[in-house]
Amino acid sequence: MRDLDLIYQLDNLYLELDLKEKELEHIERRLDIQKRNDEKQRYQLELENLHKIINDNQTELRRKENQLEDMKYKLSNLKNSFEKANVIDNKQYEHFISSVENYEEKIDTAELEILDIMINEDKINNKIVKTKDKINEISEELGNLIKKYDLKISDLKQEIVGLKYQILTLKEIISVDKLLKYEKIKAKRKKAVAIVKDKACSSCGMILPTSYFDFLQKNDDIILCENCGCILYYKKE
């Protein structure tokens, strides 16, 4: 096989290696895993806040229940005192009735407030269940993503090792002078070799002189495109 054929293969291997290394770098950043982790943390923070609300509700519920029991106790004492009284005039009776109505109104209000707290607590508990389910769903998805990424990273690293081995193998069989010329050009550009197609450079599109085309067909020496500086390669059919 001609040196130019080997150099063309070498250039393609370098391009493939560059793509694999960039893919590996992108995957190792694991941006979508970080995004899902951030989402999981938001749900965990929401869960903490919901538990805090539940605790606050429980504290408020106990306070309201104590107030309710206290008002019921006072109302009961008021009624007992009225029943035991021997002489009651109209003014005392009206005061008693007013006091009873006041207590009963406060008791009704307290019972409604307690009911509202309990209804709100049920709603929050439902949110807690849904939030926990979401956290578990994301955790499972993250586990699967991590396994997939670990496998992909392992495969890419093996492919990169294989490409580097192929590159070294080709370098050993390409003549030293041509390899040095190639590496000098490769150091300046991503793709160093351009195929000659329809008597034109595939890199820049410049139509080549007939002498260039004839030279490439008959020789194995390196010749550069005068326009873009790529190594010209004529692939024989």
What is the residue extent of each domain of the chain?
Answer: 13-173, 177-233
Is 87 strand, coil or helix?
A: coil
Query: CA nearest 122: which of 214, 53, 208, 212?
Result: 53
Mind listing the pLDDT tens digit for each residue in 204-224? 999 998 888 888 888 889 999
The answer, yes or no, to whether residue 45 has pLDDT greater than 90, is yes
Give residue 28's pLDDT band: very low, low, confident or very high (50, 70, 90).
Answer: confident
Is 169 strand, coil or helix?
A: helix
Mind listing the pLDDT tens digit for each residue in 90-128? 888 888 899 999 999 999 999 999 999 999 999 999 999
The answer, yes or no, to whether residue 87 has pLDDT greater than 80, is no
Do the Cβ atoms of 231 and 193 come closer than 8 Å?
yes
pLDDT averaged over every residue in the chain: 92
Mind listing the pLDDT tens digit for each residue in 46-55? 999 999 999 9
Burial of 193 (0-12, 13-18, 19+ CB in 10 A): buried
What pLDDT is recorded for position 237? 62
Q: How far apart are alpha carbons 118 and 111 in whole angstroms?
A: 11
The answer, yes or no, to whether residue 1 has pLDDT greater than 80, is no
Is 135 strand, coil or helix?
A: helix
The answer, yes or no, to whether residue 164 has pLDDT greater than 90, is yes
221: CB partners within 8 A, 6+ apart: 178, 215
27: CB partners within 8 A, 6+ apart: 149, 152, 153, 156
82: CB partners within 8 A, 6+ apart: 88, 96
Tell me which CATH code domain 13-173 carries. 1.10.287.1490
Lowest mean pLDDT among 19-23, 34-38, 85-89, 108-112: 85-89
Q: What is the DSSP letter of 183?
A: H
What pLDDT is recorded for position 232? 95
pTM of this prediction exceeds 0.75: no
Q: Exposure pattern of 93-108 as b/e (b: 16+ CB <10 Å)? A: eeebeeeeeebeebbe
The torsion defined by the Cα of 195, 199, 205 and 208, in degrees rounded to 10, comes to: 110
The answer, yes or no, to whether residue 159 has pLDDT greater than 70, is yes
User: What integer is the mean pLDDT of 125-133?
Assistant: 97
The answer, yes or no, to whether residue 19 has pLDDT greater than 70, is yes
Contacts 24+ apart (CB under 8 A), 164-168: 164/17, 166/13, 167/10, 167/13, 167/14, 167/17
